[in-house]
Amino acid sequence: MITLKQFLILTKFKLSFVVSLSLVFGFILSKNSIDISIINPFLAVLLLALGVSALNQVQEYKEDSLMPRTKNRPIASKAISPQQGFFISSALIILGFVFIYITLDLLGIFLFAFVVLMYNLLYTKAKKITIYAAVFGAILGVIPPLIGWLSAQGNLNDLGFIALGLFYFIWQIPHFWLLTLKYHKEYEKASFPTVVKRFGIEGLERITFIWLLLTLIAGMFLTIIFSTESIIITSLLIIINLYTLYLIFSLRKTHNYLHTFVGINSYMLAVMVILIVNAMIYN
Asked whether residue 147 falls in the same domain as residue 273, the answer is: no
Q: Mark which of 153, 168, 198 sits at the end of a domain.
A: 153
Question: Which of 105, 113, 123, 257 minimizes the C-alpha distance to 196?
Answer: 257
Name the percent of the chain lying above pLDDT 70.
Answer: 100
Alpha-carbon distance of 60 to 71, in angstroms, equals 11
Q: Which of these ranges, 86-95, 117-126, 238-247, has the smallest mean pLDDT?
A: 117-126
Asked whether residue 66 falls in the same domain as residue 23, the answer is: yes
Query: Is pLDDT above 90 for 184?
Result: no
Asked whether residue 136 falls in the same domain as residue 1, the answer is: yes
Asked whether residue 12 falls in the same domain as residue 121, the answer is: yes
Average pLDDT of the chain, as a whole number = 94
Ranges of H-type helices in the chain: 4-10, 13-31, 39-59, 61-64, 82-116, 124-126, 134-151, 159-189, 195-225, 231-254, 257-282
Asked whether residue 143 falls in the same domain as residue 174, the answer is: no
Find the CATH number of the domain harbouring 55. Answer: 1.10.357.140
Range of the domain at 199: 157-283
Asked whether residue 18 falls in the same domain as residue 146, the answer is: yes
Identity at 273, one-letter amino acid code: V
Do 115 and 143 contact (CB within 8 A), yes or no? Answer: yes
Asked whether residue 11 falls in the same domain as residue 130, the answer is: yes
Number of Cβ within 10 Å of residue 189's Cβ equals 13
DSSP string, 136-152: HHHHHHHHHHHHHHHHT
Most confident of 121-125, 159-163, 197-201: 159-163
Give the model confidence (pLDDT) of 24-78 as tens digits.
999 999 999 999 999 999 999 999 999 999 999 999 999 999 988 899 999 999 9
Give the model confidence (pLDDT) of 218-227 as tens digits.
999 999 999 8
Q: Mark which of 153, 172, 192 sits at the end of a domain.
A: 153
Asked whether residue 135 falls in the same domain as residue 175, the answer is: no
Alpha-carbon distance of 168 to 171, in angstroms, equals 5
Give the model confidence (pLDDT) of 122-132 as tens digits.
888 888 788 78
- What's the total number of domains in the chain? 2
Query: Is pLDDT above 90 for 82?
Result: yes
Query: What is the model's pTM?
Result: 0.91
CA atoms within 13 A on the CB side of 134: 20
Asked whether residue 15 falls in the same domain as residue 149, the answer is: yes
Asked whether residue 184 falls in the same domain as residue 275, the answer is: yes
Do 41 and 99 contact (CB within 8 A), yes or no? Answer: yes
Is the CA virtual torsion 230, 231, 232, 237 positive or negative? positive
Identity at 23, one-letter amino acid code: L
Q: Mark which of 129, 153, 177 sits at the end of a domain.
A: 153
Asked whether residue 165 falls in the same domain as residue 145, the answer is: no
Alpha-carbon distance of 159 to 156, in angstroms, equals 8
Asked whether residue 82 falls in the same domain as residue 115, the answer is: yes
The radius of gyration of the chain from alpha carbons, rounded to an integer in Å, stands at: 19
